[in-house]
Amino acid sequence: MKNIVILISGGGSNMAALVRCAARDQWAKRYGAQVALVVSNKAEARGLDFARAQGIATEVMDHKAFPDRETFDAALGDLIARYDTPEWPALVVLAGFMRILTPAFVERFAGRLTNIHPSLLPAFAGLHTHQRAIDASCKFAGATVHLVTAELDHGPILEQAVVPVLPDDTEATLAARVLTQEHLIYPRAIARLLQRG
């Protein structure tokens, strides 16, 4: 069985969308894949409760308990590596994991580390993407699923969704519209990766 490890920091709505899609579309039967572990760097992350309710293993790894980013990422990588199998390395899915990963971590999981970003990359990498799109008078915004590279919010694009920016949009209303699309494209992108093996 190919294990999927999902990293979160908060509510985990994209993680929940992935878990629901995996169950609905029978990823275990279709792709020999399962969401095996959800990890958060915050003990209070609400997404952990959802994962536990689905019978998925959870771990909390508080980054503040480590002396530096490198030590935290090394320990996180060791935890994830426990879910590698002889046939398949685990797929590592960032779903609202609010940490900038070290180049060593990215290299360790290269080609199997994915992220979703709430903009049409390469536009608006980083934070506050929705307000930046509004401030720039963009007519369209969206979300991007991509493979993670050492450069923040870059890497090969796997899937994108486009939404209009409406004249009366606020950061919150645009974010909500984009999020509904994130919940559709992230599972689709992961399913395609699994299908390709």
d(CA 108, CA 43): 25
Q: How far is residue 125 from each of residues 16, 98, 143, measured CA to CA in Å?
A: 24, 14, 11
d(CA 46, CA 120): 27
117 is catalytic: yes
d(CA 75, CA 139): 43
Residue 178: other Cβ atoms inside 10 A? 22
Q: Provide the token pair at 105.
A: 């971590």
**DSSP character for 163?**
E
Q: Provide the token pair at 190.
A: 């992961």
Residue in 117, 130, 146, 183 annotated catalytic = 117
d(CA 103, CA 107): 6
d(CA 63, CA 134): 33
- Which of the residues are catalytic? 117
